[in-house]
Amino acid sequence: MSARSKARKRALDVLFASELRREEPVAALERAIAEGEGPTNDYTSVLVRGVAGHQAEIDSLLRGAAQGWSLERMPGVDRNVLRIAVFELLHADEVPDAVAVSEAMNLVKELSTDESPSFVNGVLGTILRNRD
């Protein structure tokens, strides 16, 4: 697993846990760092801070692209993987679109439901088509 793949997984861990604890993602990240459990890859911080900083925009796009699904109804893993991928698609110019989508697919294949890969792929495909 590449360093960036590990950073994405760790960012997912932080985002998912912050939702469960009803904690702001950046506060969760900073708490983990203060407790010595912080990420070892700076890209994890970039992702968590990026998702948090653009969450209103990202969530609006997800609501529009996830036909028939509210954000609250989505599995938590899918919701946060989508947030990371959309952040990368829109704001991480050094990450090719295909890589952002592929990494999102790998995470949901490993960590979510059997239906999640097709759902996540469809949502990201809609966002990409609408972006262009």
Give which of 88, 72, 90, 31 is closest to 13, Cα–Cα: 31
Q: What is the 3-state secondary structure (H, E, C) of 109-122?
A: HHHCCCCHHHHHHH
The CATH code belonging to domain 3-131 is: 1.10.940.10
How far apart, in whole angstroms, are the C-alpha atoms of residue 109 and residue 121? 11
What type of residue sits at position 21? Answer: R
How far apart, in whole angstroms, are the C-alpha atoms of residue 101 and residue 81? 10
How far apart, in whole angstroms, are the C-alpha atoms of residue 69 and residue 80? 14
Per residue of the chain (132 residues), give pLDDT as tens: 799 999 999 999 999 999 999 999 999 999 999 988 878 899 999 999 999 999 999 999 999 999 889 999 999 999 999 999 999 999 999 999 999 999 999 999 999 999 999 999 999 999 999 986
Domain ranges of the chain: 3-131
